[in-house]
Amino acid sequence: MISNKISLRSRLFIAMIFLILVASVVIASITILRYKEEAQQYHNNRLKRKEIAIKQHINYILRRTTYPITTDNIPLIFKEKGKIFELSEVHQMPLNFYDLNGNLLIKSNQSFLRDTIKQGIPGIVISKINNTLDKRYLVSYEKDGERFQSSYSYITDIKFKPLAILNLPYLQNDNSVKNDINAFLKNIIEVYFIMILISIGLAYLLSNYITRSITSISEKIKQTRLDKQNKKIEADNVSGEIKILVDAYNNMIDQLQESAIRLAVSERENAWREMAKQVAHEIKNPLTPMRLTVQSFQRKFDPKHPGIEEKLKEHSNILIEQIDTMSTIASAFSNFAKMPARKDEILDMSEIVKAALDIFKEHNISLKEPNAPININFDRTQLIRVVTNLIKNALQAIPENRTAEITVHLSKNNNTATLSVSDNGLGIKKEDQTRIFEPNFTTKSSGMGLGLAMVKSIIETYEGTIGFNSEIDKGTQFEIKIPIHN
């Protein structure tokens, strides 16, 4: 809410200042991190170089000692003539020797870690030394505000057998790094302070220049209405970009006025045309099963047949049901051409499908259904309409020189009922598959192309889905999934 009330001028101004500040913070942060990384890398490399030099010096002493080179003799070897102090003084580092169990053997007098030394090396450090490839372990820590590194590595005899553990405590002196960082920050603050002052002035001038023309144009645009005659914007002495915006708006006003007139006429015509098509299609649907029923009755009528009354009653019920459907559609059309209102009820899906298939008895249609009933909450008339439309499409897809083989399959999986209709027809061309459910689209020479669009609309009303698989000259399978709500 607050940001919407800020003017474009203020947003431009704030954005420029914000970018300068963000850039300065990012550059300063990256530079400081880089300084610290380079400083840490410098200390790591320096400690490693000192460790290599000290080990070379130790090997030199071991090769010239008169004592047997054993772990127990390490204190004697390095006490002789103060060799350990000489080592520490030459390399300017304290050093400590521990036996292989971590117990202190000897240390230089420059150690600043007396408490740690008295305790010996923790077992976990010895374990980590043994688990590294170079038999070396580095520990970093802070004490009294100062940073230290401490390396642990093995001292070996001439046969590379471990004699002792060498510990080199190393104090990281970061004063030079801190001084460099402080000097850098001071310089960057001075530079960016000047840049911020300059950017404030530029932002103010630029925002005023950009928004002056836009403000006058926006006032004109606010007065634009779709339901009245709009006035064009007249803007002189404006920049090229603003001129393009004004011209585009004026052209839009012209097109808008023409389109509004055409749209009003077209919408009225299309609305009645589509309504008439849909109602005609809906009335035509019941006529097909009625005609098939009457034709079947004419061919098979035998007044002497023992079940003639039952047959007559069955055909009459089918005709009455379809007539009722047409009556419902006609009544709905008189009420502003609305389709029949849903009358949901709990239906046995198998029974409704069988009733719909009775209309197509003379065709080669097989039904596969589960033993248990599939109960769904659906409108009876609409479910019959869905099945008859799919069967009619399947029959119409089969060429005249081919025997129809249509399979209707019902199944239930968890809370989903599935109805599939398969045929052995010509299949659906690849270029037609994306449009198969569009209203008014048909691949047949007759018909309005509303059947599958209506089926899709009905199924989606019940939160279901419809899809298909098709192979050219092999056939098509439509599959409908309807959720079962307990």
Q: What is the pLDDT of residue 268?
A: 56
Residue 157's pLDDT is: 84
The pair phi, psi for residue 131, each rounded to 5°, is: -90, 0
Could you give the CA distance from residue 295 to residue 301 in angstroms, rounded to a whole number? 10
| Domains of the chain, earliest start first | 1-64+175-222 (no CATH), 93-173 (3.30.450.20), 343-486 (3.30.565.10)
Q: Evaluate whether 457 touches 469 at the Cβ level (below 8 Å).
A: no
Going 246 to 247 to 253 to 259, the CA torsion angle's sign is: negative
- Model pTM? 0.37
Question: Crossing angle for the helix pair 349-357 and 380-396, nearest 10 degrees?
Answer: 50
Quick check: 91 and 50 in contact, CB under 8 A? yes
Determine contact, residues 121/137, Cβ cutoff 8 Å: no
CA distance 486 to 484: 6
Please spell the DSSP secondary structure of 365-379, one letter per residue.
EEEE--SS--EEEEE
pLDDT of residue 421: 94
pLDDT score, position 467: 92
pLDDT means per 10 residues, the chain with 486 residues, are 58 75 79 78 83 88 86 86 85 88 82 50 86 85 76 86 88 65 75 77 72 66 60 63 71 71 60 64 70 71 71 74 71 51 86 86 84 90 89 88 90 91 90 77 48 84 91 92 84
Strands, E assignment, 55-161:
96-98, 104-107, 136-143, 146-156
